[in-house]
Every structure is written in structure tokens, then in C-alpha cells.
Amino acid sequence: MMNFYLKYVKRICDIAIALVALVILSPLFLVVPILIKLDSPGPVFFLQERVGKDFKKFGIIKFRTMVVDAPKSKNTITKKSDARITRIGKILRKLKIDEMPQIINVLRGDMSVVGPRSDVEKYVKMFEKDFREILRVRPGMAGYVITKFRNEEEILERYKDLEEGYIKEVLPRKIALDKKYIENISFWNDVKIFFLTFLSVVTKWY
């Protein structure tokens, strides 16, 4: 029954939810690009290579929240006070609006609506054994990491070396939550996580 859910039902649910979300959020996809362009020069979207299901790489899509030359620093870890974040970018990140274009990743089959968080190849290789267990399923937009781990930025603020903080404290906690998801994956658990994530995001809007 679980294999049937993972192989067929989950994907059907992903497509249905993503299509409905695109319709509901269409005003944001019209307004946000204008705000990004007015705030700073550069593209509207930011693409970053991530590692997905079965270690297949894909380009995750987000609204750009940093200055256009931010990727030149090769630092993929950010904290709340990062000077590379634009004015509108701070708002988009706080409200999680920058994540909305990942709906396109869901429709393309790169991601699921609910699942573990994706990461860049560098950190996946560092914790390859853990990710071999986690990436048996598509990474998700919603998940335990969002609902139960909300103080990543505060943790990173304590470290001068952001990468050290991410490797030593943040990533291990994310991995533990993603493993918990894999161990308890089911239709009803996905429904619960979806609504908990939705509530978590909406509370930031008020």
C-alpha cells in the first residue's frame, strides 16, 4: 500500500495541489517580479543546483532575494543579517514568498509538495550515508524542517564561520527531522505536514 502511495498517489496529489496553487498565487507571480526589478537590477528568478531523488541533480527555482552578483562569493549559506539580501528580498524571505516558484519544480517532477529538504551537492556528499536514506523520495516544499525547525537564522548568527555552524549544528538537525519524515511517511502524515507548514507560513504574514 505504501509503495502504491509513493509511486502513484503522491505524484497525482502533487500535480493537483501545484496547479491549484498556481491559480491562487498567480497575483503574486505578477506583482513580485515587478517589486524585485524595482528594488535591484538583475533577473527575477534565482536558480541553484540541488540534489534530488536518487541523487539526481535539478535546478531549484526561487524568487531572487539577493544582489545579482551574490553567487560569486560561492557561499550558499545565509543568515538574517547577510548584507547580500536586498530590501524586498528580506520581506520575501521572511514571508517565505521567495519559495513559491518551487511549484514549478513540483510540476516538473523535481520536487514534491511534502518531503525532505533538498541541499547542494557539497553538503550531500559530506553526509552521503544519511542522504542515501533521505533521498529515496523527492525533496519537498513543505516538511518537518519548516514546521519544527524555525530558528536556523538565529543559530547561524552565533557563528563567525557560517559553514561551521551549518555543518556542526544546523544540517544534523535537519537530517534528523528528514529521517523522521522518511520513517513515518504516509498520506495522512503528508496531509498533516502540509497544513502545519501552511499555518507556519501564514502566521508570518500577520
Q: Which residue has the higher pLDDT, 151 or 21?
A: 21
Average pLDDT over residues 95-115: 96
Report how far apart, in Å, the C-alpha atoms of 152 and of each of 40, 102, 141, 157, 170 are: 26, 20, 17, 9, 7
Give the model confidence (pLDDT) of 56-66 as tens digits: 999 999 999 99
Average pLDDT over residues 128-145: 95
Report yes or no: 75 and 67 within 8 Å, Cβ to Cβ: no
Give the model confidence (pLDDT) of 177-193 as tens digits: 999 999 999 999 999 99
Q: Which residue has the higher pLDDT, 85 or 202?
A: 85
Indicate whether 73 pLDDT > 70.
no
Ranked by mean pLDDT, the top range of 4-8, 37-41, 159-163, 197-201 is: 37-41
Containing 48, the helix (H) or strand (E) segment is strand 45-51
CA dist 36 and 88 (Å) reads 7
Indicate whether 106 pLDDT > 90.
yes
- Based on the structure, what is the number of domains in the chain? 1
Q: Which residues pair with 201 in a beta bridge?
A: none
Domain hosting residue 40, numbered range = 2-205
* Predicted TM-score of the model (pTM): 0.90
In residues, how long is the chain? 206
